Structure 1
Amino acid sequence: MRFKDVFSIIGPAMIGPSSSHTAGAIRLGRVARQLFGELPEKAEITLYGSFAETYQGHGTDLALVGGLLGYETDDELIPHSLEDAEQAGMEVVFIPSNNPAIHPNTAKITLSGNSKELTVVGSSIGGGNIEIVNVNQFDVKFTGIYPTLVIAHQDRPGLIADITAILRTEHVNIGYMDLDRKSRNGEAMTVIEVDSPISDRLIERIRSVDLIHTVGIIDLTERG
């Protein structure tokens, strides 16, 4: 990853000792929470590499749960996130793993509740930056730096063109796109990073496209 400025290296304003183990972990949790769309009833968090070795000493557990609660990297509530999660009715389970991972600071976050489940795999790659590499077993990548659409849909000819046509008519520029599918004409997922905020009107227009199942929105610039 090419760092854009000094703050990409030293990290954002934050609570905690490490931009990788705290600020990045908070953002991983926030991405999962935003994709899930509500407070989950249960969060099962599998930790890999240095996350697994030092998650309690470096406060990674507090940061990941703080992100699931919607806390920002500099939120003074982060040290109390485990207690806050319990009071909010969210069960949290940490599973340190010895299995190899794509990056030393990697977590798999599985959220469940309200008859739905979501799995997000991502890494904290330095300076508070993150990279998501898998959502619900689809190999899609995004960073959360820009507003992002995560669209689950059926694989069919012309569907991506329908989505991009909507973005064009709404004057939304695409900065990055990634797609994965499980089989031809089967389940698929498309990720689109855009250069401007994602409006409710845009979301509703995309949701109305035939054979689109869900539309998730990531915007880490939003507070809470």
Structure 2
Amino acid sequence: MAFISVFDVLGPNMIGPSSSHTAGAEIIAYLAQKMIAPPLKRVDFTLYGSFAKTYHGHGTDRALLGGIMGFSADDTRIRDSFAIATERGLAYSFTPNETETDIYPNTVDIRMENEAGQVMTVRGESLGGGKVRIVGINGVAVDFSGEYNALIVVQRDKPGVVAHITKILSERGVNIAFMRLFREGKGHKAYTIVESDQHLPEGVAQLLLENPNINDVMIVQP
């Protein structure tokens, strides 16, 4: 028998009418902005399925914009996210895509560009009850929920890299809950995603970057 918690029934604390269209959207954007160095200068949202049909009426646009600025799902500033983004000089756009139908109903693509010129894309799905799944980073299919402290390692798909990651984490006392490797193809760019139920220690990113086959390390945690 599947376990259903009270949070699955009642949903999360949030600003907005829908756990799927507001809380879920906000969480996706909140996770996305953790993956790129601030400050952001532009963000473009492409919405699919029911997101594309109801994003304005359900406040999905406000929620996405609030999340990309680092607001939590229950932050009252979400109501004024358009004005706050304008005050901060953050350019943004929302583009509904109703032509692609072979896609999860509540899906958003987020393209972010920071002041340094770095560009990153993230695809997320809102699953209901405030639960989400990140399913794409820079065009590479991935899969993580954001419910755990996450370490995202961008690397070349070479022998020894995963062993280096696990060695560093073990030395720092990090207990691994989940660890998965996603790659473009053999020998090409890959993402190792490590999820832990404990806070990731300071300095772990610098230690991981000592491996010449690791290009970047992103830490996504509350």
Letter in 2 for 1:111: M
2:199 corresponds, among 197, 200, 204, to: 197
Q: Is the 8 A contact 1:154 1:188 kept in 2?
A: yes
In structure 2, which of residues 206, 209, 220 is the aligned counterpart of residue 207 of structure 1?
209
Q: Which residue of 2 aligns with 1:28?
A: 28
Size of the aligned set, in residue pairs, is 219
Q: How does 1:150-165 map to 2 (within 5 A)?
A: 150-165=152-167
- Corresponding residue number in structure 1 for 2:48: 48
2:107 aligned partner, one-letter code: T
In structure 2, the residue matched to 1:117 is: 119
Aligned twin of 1:106: 107
Which blocks of at least 5 consecutive residues in structure 1 are unaligned? none
Aligned CA distance change for structure 1 residues 122 and 9 (closer, same or farther; 3 Å): farther
CA–CA separation in structure 2 for the residues paired with 1:96 and 1:115: 25
Contact conserved, 2:48 with 2:103, CA < 8 A, in 1?
no
Residue number in structure 2 paired with 1:217: 219
For the 8 Å contact 1:111–1:119, the answer to whether it is kept is yes
1:38 corresponds in structure 2 to 38
Unaligned runs of 5+ in 2: none
State which drifts further: 171-180 or 64-73: 171-180
State the 4+ residue runs in structure 1 displaced beyond 4 angstroms. Answer: none
Which secondary structure state, in structure 2, belongs to the residue aligned with residue 139 of structure 1? strand
Deviations 1:70-124 (A, max 9, x none): 0011111001001111111111111100112532111000001322100000111
- Given the superposition, is the C-alpha separation of residues 110 and 190 from structure 1 closer, same or farther in structure 2, using an over 3 Å criterion? same
The answer as to whether partners of 2:108 and 2:123 remain within 8 angstroms in 1 is yes
CA contact (8 A) 1:155 1:184 kept: yes
CA distance in 2, matches of 1:51, 1:18: 11
| Contact residue 39 and residue 90 of structure 1 kept, 8 A | no
Change in 2 beyond 3 A, CA 1:38/1:175: same
1:139 maps to 2:141: yes
Match of 2:18 in 1: 18
Task: Answer yes or no: is the 8 Å Cα contact 1:3–1:9 preserved in 2.
Answer: no
Q: Which residue does the alignment assign to 2:186?
A: 184
Q: Percent identity?
A: 39
Amino acid at match of 1:164: T
Instruction: Give me the whole-angstrom Cα distance separating, in 2, the residues matched to 1:217 and 1:38.
Output: 14
**Can you list the C-alpha shifts for 1:52-82, whole angstroms capped at 9, x where unaligned?**
0000000000000000010011111001001
> Kindly tell me: are residues 40 and 189 of structure 1, through their superposed partners in 2, closer, same or farther at Cα, counting changes over 3 Å?
same
Cα separation, partners in 2 of 1:174 and 1:4, compared to 1, 3 Å: farther
Q: Deviations along 1:21-49, whole A, 9 cap, x unmatched?
A: 11111101111110013131111100000
Change (3 A) 1:178 1:9: farther
Q: Secondary structure at the match of 1:87?
A: helix
Matched residue of 2:86: which SS? Answer: helix
The alpha-carbon deviation at position 4 of structure 1 amounts to 5.7
Cα offset, 1:9, TM superposition: 3.6
| Counterpart-to-counterpart distance in 2, 1:208 and 1:11 | 42
Q: What is the Cα deviation at residue 3 of structure 1?
A: 6.2
Q: Is the 8 A contact 1:180 1:188 kept in 2?
A: yes
